[in-house]
């Protein structure tokens, strides 16, 4: 939304959950091959239900980006997410990064997952989030494929530099990538000292002081008059999850540090800000509220 369209109403942010299990994260893909997933205890259902209970206590509706892999194994979980008033959206099928898929493989996965989720939720699926935010300079074709498959928006870009993802020069707020017709809604960042800083969740929410996130999101809401996008994973509320052997020190810190703090911090965040589903925060606007941006791969990958 434009600042002018938001000045007359309270700022509502989008709360989002990426429904995947602890052993499916990109940081562990060298330690846990895909064919070994079945050997690990599945904890995603119980953890997601803890998140549902949190939202119910606080009267929050959210968007759940669900893996097709999870939906196939826990169909009642998807039904319960929808029945509780949340938006069901797609996280792809098997958590494959787009850089590891051909265009046809990607197309097959998003169509398969959309159909499965719609059957279980009993409603249309409009949203998509790429695993590990892997819509990047070499995979911008994904926007066209998503629109063709019937999606209306993607939330797959984080405009920061990160070793696994990120397009630092991409727009910070919702936009239409030129020629695709699909709305892209980046995870929220705050701009300070000439660069973008994370304030939209993920591991940063556990690793950095809560005050930095509160200050950043408040600045986005109050000074820029924009809605933010926040995200986390069900495994981040699970301090008792199994420890994976052979993980590098960096990935151990990234994945396990401060897991016990996630739920209390979420409680604070929900008290400090207003949240709702992605579709109600962003799709209620008319297309003219969002700019059309020509994404240039070389420029976007610069940092």
Structure tokens at 198: 């994370």
Residues 6+ apart with CB under 8 A from 250: none
Q: What is the pLDDT of residue 303?
A: 41
Q: What is the pLDDT of residue 164?
A: 66
Q: What is the pLDDT of residue 109?
A: 97
Q: List the chain domain ranges.
A: 3-286
Q: CA torsion, points 28, 195, 100, 185, in degrees to nearest 10?
A: 100
Determine if the pTM surpasses 0.85.
yes
Q: Report how far residue 175's alpha carbon sits from residue 167's, in angstroms, rounded to the nearest whole number.
A: 14
All residue ranges of the chain with pLDDT < 70 are 1-9, 161-166, 179, 285-288, 296-303
Q: Report yes or no: 153 and 283 within 8 Å, Cβ to Cβ.
A: yes
Q: What is the pLDDT of residue 162?
A: 64
Residues 6+ apart with CB under 8 A from 299: 169
Residues 6+ apart with CB under 8 A from 82: 88, 120, 121, 122, 123
Q: What is the pLDDT of residue 3?
A: 44
CB atoms within 10 A of CB 273: 18
Q: Report how far residue 7's alpha carbon sits from residue 175's, in angstroms, rounded to the nearest whole number.
A: 19
Q: What is the pLDDT of residue 165?
A: 66
35-88 pLDDT, tens digit each: 999 999 999 999 999 999 999 999 999 999 999 999 999 999 999 999 999 999
Average confidence score pLDDT of the chain? 90
Which DSSP state fits 132? G
CB atoms within 10 A of CB 241: 19
Residues 6+ apart with CB under 8 A from 102: none
Indicate the CATH number for domain 3-286: 3.20.20.370
Residues 6+ apart with CB under 8 A from 109: 68, 92, 93, 94, 96, 101
Separation in Å, CA 208 to CA 44, 194, 258:
25, 20, 10
Q: Report yes or no: 161 and 303 within 8 Å, Cβ to Cβ.
A: yes
């Amino acid at each position: 939304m434009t600042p002018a369209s938001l000045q007359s109403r309270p700022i509502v942010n989008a709360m989002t959950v990426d429904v995947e299990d602890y052993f499916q994260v990109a940081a562990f893909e060298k330690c846990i091959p895909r064919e070994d997933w079945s050997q690990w205890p599945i904890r995603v259902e119980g953890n997601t239900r803890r998140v549902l209970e949190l939202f119910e206590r606080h009267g929050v509706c959210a968007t759940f980006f669900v893996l097709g892999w999870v939906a196939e194994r826990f169909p009642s979980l998807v039904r319960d997410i929808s029945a509780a008033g949340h938006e069901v959206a797609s996280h792809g099928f098997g958590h494959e990064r787009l850089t590891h898929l051909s265009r046809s493989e990607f197309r097959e996965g998003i169509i398969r997952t959309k159909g499965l989720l719609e059957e279980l939720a009993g409603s249309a699926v409009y949203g998509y989030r790429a695993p590990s935010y892997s819509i990047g300079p070499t995979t911008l074709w994904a926007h066209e494929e998503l629109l063709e498959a019937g999606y209306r928006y993607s939330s797959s870009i984080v405009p920061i530099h990160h070793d696994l993802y990120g397009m630092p020069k991409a727009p910070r707020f919702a936009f239409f990538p030129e020629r695709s017709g699909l709305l892209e809604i980046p995870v929220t960042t705050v701009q300070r000292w000439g660069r973008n800083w994370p304030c939209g969740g993920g591991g940063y929410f556990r690793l950095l002081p809560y005050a930095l996130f509160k200050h950043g999101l408040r600045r986005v809401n109050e000074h820029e008059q924009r809605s933010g996008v926040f995200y986390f994973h069900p495994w981040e509320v699970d301090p008792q999850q199994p420890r994976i052997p052979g993980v590098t020190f960096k990935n151990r810190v990234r994945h396990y540090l401060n897991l016990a703090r996630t739920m209390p911090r979420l409680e604070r965040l929900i008290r400090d800000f207003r949240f709702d589903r992605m579709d109600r925060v962003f799709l209620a606007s008319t297309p003219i509220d969002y700019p059309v941006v020509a994404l240039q791969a070389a420029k976007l990958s610069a940092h």
